[in-house]
Amino acid sequence: MKQIVTVTLNPAIDKTITVDRLTVAGLNRIKHVRMDPGGKGINVAKVLVQFGASAVAWGFQAGVEGRVLMQMLDDLNIHSRFFQTAGNVRTNLKVVDEATKQTTELNEIGQQPSDSVVQDFIRAFEAEMKATSLLVLGGSLPPGLPQDFYRTLIVIAGKYGVRTILDADGEALAAGIEARPFAIKPNLQELEALVGKRLPTDEAIVHAARSIHAQGIPCVVVSMGAEGAIVAMREGTFRARPFPITPISTVGAGDSMVAAMAHCLAEGMPVEEMVRWMTAAGSITASKPGTEVCTLTEVSLKLDAVEVTHL
């Protein structure tokens, strides 16, 4: 059985702190602290392991923090291949305000990998594609990498018939789309930036998603937080509305949607079922602290609570 590869080029250690109420420019006493391995591809791998999928996380790592990150992945039973470069893995701070249920994120920029390490990565990555069924690319690019780097990886994967899910934003997303990945998953703000205008209604979002689908992207998923998701595919356009939750930390919710998509594609599930899985996974993860993610059992129990409409 071929594996799912996730790529996190700019990983992090996520430090999540919880306060009663965040006071800007004032004293805040911390109630809880937790540390998690972070980055979109890593979060996707965490969910896939929970689902029992064959997955391996790839990326760059550096310094003492990089060694801590690798140990965290080992502790979570996540198979990984991270290429070491100079410097240190970044630390991202998440501040959870219990009063407002909002999360404020303070993310470091990351470490620039050397040219030689990047070339080593590309050579090994291409060799790995022969044993890969699905590729997940996600998150920010580290300093020094060109904005079309995801496009390069998508083209390489395509040579081996590997379908790619791209979850990026800005120039990296726009450039990646040029290589025709199988799927993209922008949130609403990322989609608006991509099309260059506000999308205030479901109708406007559907039109934008369908227009990107028509450019040769088989699956366009627009995540909308508590409002659910809109999915445009060859089989049609679907509107998903989630069950109510009490949000605790939305970090990793979109990554859980991507993981559920990858799982369903690997299992050959029908499109409508995939939409249910994605929506349930994102909602459950949003109800958990830090970057804790959904489990297979939790998602399975909530599938029927997701409302899916074929537009």
> Does residue 103 form part of some domain?
no
The pair of structure tokens assigned to 290 is 């830090």
Question: Given this model, what pLDDT does residue 297 score?
Answer: 96
As for how many domains the chain has, the answer is 1
Give every CB contact of residue 157 below 8 A, 6+ residues apart in sequence: 129, 132, 135, 163, 164
> Does residue 29 form part of some domain?
no
> Does residue 107 form part of some domain?
no
- Parent domain of 262: 3-9+40-83+114-310
pLDDT digits (tens, 9 = 90+) for 65-114: 999 999 999 999 999 999 999 999 999 999 989 999 888 999 999 999 99
> Does residue 92 form part of some domain?
no
Axis crossing angle, helix 40-50 with helix 253-267, rounded to the nearest 10: 50
Catalytic positions, please?
255
Cβ-contact 165, 182 below 8 angstroms: yes
> Does residue 100 form part of some domain?
no
Mean predicted confidence (pLDDT) in 113-118: 96
Percent pLDDT > 70 in the chain is 99
Judge whether residue 289 has pLDDT over 80: no
> Does residue 258 form part of some domain?
yes
> Does residue 147 form part of some domain?
yes
- 282: domain CATH number is 3.40.1190.20
pTM for this predicted structure: 0.93
> Does residue 28 form part of some domain?
no
